[in-house]
Structure 1
Amino acid sequence: MREPGSAAVPTPRCGAPSARRAALADRFDPRRNALNAIRLALAVVVIVSHTWVLGGYGDEPQLGGANLGAWAVLGFFGLSGFLITGSRLRTSAGRYYLARALRIVPGFAVCLVVTAFVVAPVIAVLGTGGWDAASAATYVVRNAALYPYAPPGLVQPSIGAVLSGAPYPALNGSLWTLFWEAGCYLLVGVGVSLLPRRLLTPAVVAAFGATTALAAVLHALGQPGPAVLERPLQMVSAFMAGAVLLLLSHRLPLGAASGVSAVVLAGVVITGTAGPLAALPLTLLLLAASVVLPLARVGARRDLSYGVYVYGFAVQQLLVAAGLHRHVPPLVFVLVALVVVTPVAWASFVVVEAPAMRLARRGPVGRTAAAQPLVVDLREPALPVAVRTPQRER
């Protein structure tokens, strides 16, 4: 997650390769790309996927053995790995950790409070009641660790009996991924600090290979309770995939790599192994799309994707309490949810996220790492936030 603006790429060299043979580092312009639009689209896909379960319409839509929400999360983590690795390479550890914390935590904390003391009471009024302030307070406190998987009783999914008649018994089931996102930030931050630069790429490649292999083995074995181990492994693997692409960006011909990725991704879909194996080709294709899509102005001033992601689930539960799911088909439910969550996401960005990012800019200034093939600003987003592309910093 990050603030407005993106860092510059190196000045193009004379005799640059053709677009077909150019490397990813040559083609990707942090100041002008469509990652804003892509991340916003991924946040919308999460809402689409959750609609089926939250509205009682049935199971979430599947593709290649994974639901649409899982595809979106893989995309989020892959792009985040690409951007955040570049961030750490060009900034000091102190500024990196400060920026990462200020990008995730304030919006997350306010979301918990709003969910507990605004959304949940309204759901109680619309439904069967059951809200109380003490339970709301414990909801905020017990979920303040970014929704990790924890022993039963440590994480509180709801408040009182406010969701007693709802098809799904959690107020905000999207937030748990932020714990693993933050863990990936820490992993990259520590790795860059401890490893000699010559060992960084081999180490990241090894980490990607190990997590992918382990996730694939669990998938093949049909390991029960995949949300406890398999899903986190898939997300870490996706983050490492993005980091690999960043570190090899100066060697990777984007055109050829995109073609190979499309073929691999088709095979993954056909074999039903999207969860453990889709991250690398998916991330590469999303980066390629960000180069060619003419959507650089989307979210350039106000990035709503984080707000759409963290508030979407709670807004959908609010609509379920209002009974909307009993009267409209799933896609109409999605459209109404987007209409409601958009101003909420806008308020989150303007009131919470943007001030926090301005505060991060006042932190200690780190040095720019030398000789990086592709430099990405520390202010690039985390999980669900789009890349901002204005020409000047604000």
Structure 2
Amino acid sequence: MNDTPLATHRNAFGFVRFVLASLVIVAHTPELTDGTRDRELFSALFGSTTFGGIAVDGFFLISGFLITGSFLSSRSWTSYLKKRIIRIFPGFLAAYFLCIFIVALLAGGRLPHGTFEIVRVITDAAFLQAPRSIDVFAGTPYPVLNGSVWTISYEFRCYLLLLALGMASLLRSRRFIVAAAILFTILALCVPTHSYRPFSPNAVATELTTLQYIRFAIIGDHRQLVRFIQIFLTGACFFVFRDRLRFPAWAMVVAGIALVAGCFSTVFVHIAVAVFGGYLILAFAFLNNDNVFARINNKEDISYGLYLSAWPIEKLLIWWLPGLPLLLLGLATFVLATCYGWLSWQLIERPVIERSRTRRRTPVIATGATDTRSDAPID
């Protein structure tokens, strides 16, 4: 497999990300309604994780693959870091402050007031933490403004890890990347994450000491950090060996069987998704490089905004329209979050990306167009 489908965006990564973001809604709809995972389909079938957990794993796998290419083709480490900041922060900050100043008021909360609360809001935003507000969604399961965005800070930590490896000239060593991925796979087996949940059904905001806050803002939960680094580095392994990737039917069948088997284990599920699910994701993305799947969510990547907005939208629907059937609740959330994702891309994410590139835009020879997706492996 050569780099042509990757360099020209003739692949189905955009479609896969859209599907993964939608699966988060599938997972959250019954859980946000009931406060349990009893009616969550994946959990009911396999008993290990949820469709949301699978979707997040998929995001980190794809990110590890694409962002490794982005670093290796960046002009400098500062160029790489700028692209990563531009891709993560604008969309996040828009969703964050909408939650703080609009969703909170609609959900029974209040605006931040006083120096301490204002400083906390700004600090949380700077460290990519979840927005906080007192008394929001009182009496409902998971009374928090946005329970999905907790993964974003881990994504950025993975970007910084890749930056450190790149600056140490280790990313071009296939042996090192494989060794690092194996090491974190072993660590992931030693610190399983099945007992960890970022929010409890009856979540109550608790204040951390300054040192606790700094530690959590920098490292997060060590179990989740190990999990995400393992998946991210697996994606990096796929990238550095991309020239050797082949997708025969028998290999995809074997990967599918191994993936299903791994999904029954709370210890192995995330590793199975990273390794076997990652192989199948790449097979789908590159084998569908010139059809309708390659055109869905390709030039207009709305998956990030969809992911960031689905939780507060669904919580507001539950808050204001209690008793909605699950199917109607999920469909309404999907439609509204998709609309928000499109607006976020058109009004915030793409304009910021394009503005940052006006001074250094280079043509893509294969198409005569210019690359505006900052997660692409070309600059």
TM, length-normalised to structure 2: 0.80
- 1:234–1:34 CA distance, 2 compared to 1 (3 A): same
* Aligned partner letter, 1:204: I
| Counterpart Cα distance in 1 of 2:234 and 2:107 | 40
Please state if 1:112 is matched with 2:96: yes
- 1:157–1:96 CA distance, 2 compared to 1 (3 A): closer
Please state if 1:250 is matched with 2:243: yes
| Counterpart Cα distance in 1 of 2:71 and 2:338 | 31
- Matching residue within 330, 343, 346 for 1:334: 330
**Over aligned residues, Cα RMSD in angstroms?**
2.9
Match of 1:297 in 2: 295
| Counterpart Cα distance in 1 of 2:274 and 2:335 | 30
Q: Which deviations, in whole Å up to 9, do the C-alpha atoms of 1:104-147 show, x marking residues without a partner?
A: 011111111111111221222xxxxx423428846632421444
Match of 1:77 in 2: 60
- Matching residue within 116, 123, 143 for 2:124: 143
- 1:337–1:308 CA distance, 2 compared to 1 (3 A): same
- 1:138–1:168 CA distance, 2 compared to 1 (3 A): farther
8 Å CA contact retained: 2:310, 2:337: yes
- After TM superposition, list the pairs within 5 Å mapping 1:22-61 onto structure 2: 23=1, 30-56=8-34, 58-59=36-37, 60-61=40-41
Q: Displacement of 1:263 after TM fit?
A: 3.0
Match of 1:152 in 2: none
Match of 1:216 in 2: 189
Match of 2:261 in 1: 267
Match of 1:306 in 2: 304
| Counterpart Cα distance in 2 of 1:378 and 1:347 | 16
Q: Which deviations, in whole Å up to 9, do the C-alpha atoms of 1:212-236 show, x marking residues without a partner?
A: 11111223xx885465333332211
Q: Displacement of 1:102 after TM fit?
A: 0.5
Point out which structure has higher relative CO (alpha carbons under 8 A, 6+ apart).
Answer: 1
Partner-residue secondary structure (3-state), 1:143: helix
Partner-residue secondary structure (3-state), 1:254: coil
| Counterpart Cα distance in 2 of 1:388 and 1:307 | 21
- After TM superposition, list the pairs within 5 Å mapping 1:220-231 onto structure 2: 224-225=195-196, 228-231=221-224
Match of 1:3 in 2: none
8 Å CA contact retained: 1:96, 1:378: no
| Counterpart Cα distance in 1 of 2:22 and 2:319 | 21
Deviates more, 1:133-142 or 1:308-317: 133-142
Q: Which deviations, in whole Å up to 9, do the C-alpha atoms of 1:30-66 show, x marking residues without a partner?
A: 4211111110010010111111221226314414611
| Counterpart Cα distance in 2 of 1:24 and 1:286 | 17
| Counterpart Cα distance in 1 of 2:156 and 2:188 | 20
- Matching residue within 232, 236, 243 for 1:239: 232
8 Å CA contact retained: 1:26, 1:250: no
8 Å CA contact retained: 2:84, 2:374: no
Partner-residue secondary structure (3-state), 2:139: coil
8 Å CA contact retained: 1:95, 1:363: no
| Counterpart Cα distance in 2 of 1:196 and 1:229 | 23
- Matching residue within 170, 178, 182 for 1:205: 178
8 Å CA contact retained: 1:43, 1:305: yes
Aligned sequence identity (%): 30
Partner-residue secondary structure (3-state), 2:87: helix
* Aligned partner letter, 1:81: G
8 Å CA contact retained: 2:11, 2:285: yes
Q: Displacement of 1:364 after TM fit?
A: 6.0
Match of 1:350 in 2: 346
- 1:226–1:36 CA distance, 2 compared to 1 (3 A): same
Residues paired across the two proteins, number: 337
Partner-residue secondary structure (3-state), 2:244: coil
User: Which runs of 5 or more structure 1 residues have no equivalent in the other structure?
Assistant: 1-22, 125-129, 149-155, 369-376, 382-386
* Aligned partner letter, 1:164: A
- 1:141–1:32 CA distance, 2 compared to 1 (3 A): same
User: Which runs of 5 or more structure 2 residues have no equivalent in the other structure?
Assistant: 199-220, 365-370
- 1:276–1:197 CA distance, 2 compared to 1 (3 A): closer
| Counterpart Cα distance in 2 of 1:344 and 1:25 | 32
- 1:187–1:364 CA distance, 2 compared to 1 (3 A): farther
TM, length-normalised to structure 1: 0.77
| Counterpart Cα distance in 2 of 1:291 and 1:265 | 19
- 1:363–1:261 CA distance, 2 compared to 1 (3 A): farther
Q: Which deviations, in whole Å up to 9, do the C-alpha atoms of 1:148-196 show, x marking residues without a partner?
A: 5xxxxxxx75312122122112110111111111111111122112125
Name whichever structure is richer in helix by fraction: 2
Match of 1:65 in 2: 48
* Aligned partner letter, 2:280: L
- 1:53–1:223 CA distance, 2 compared to 1 (3 A): closer
Please state if 1:285 is matched with 2:280: yes
Match of 1:93 in 2: 77
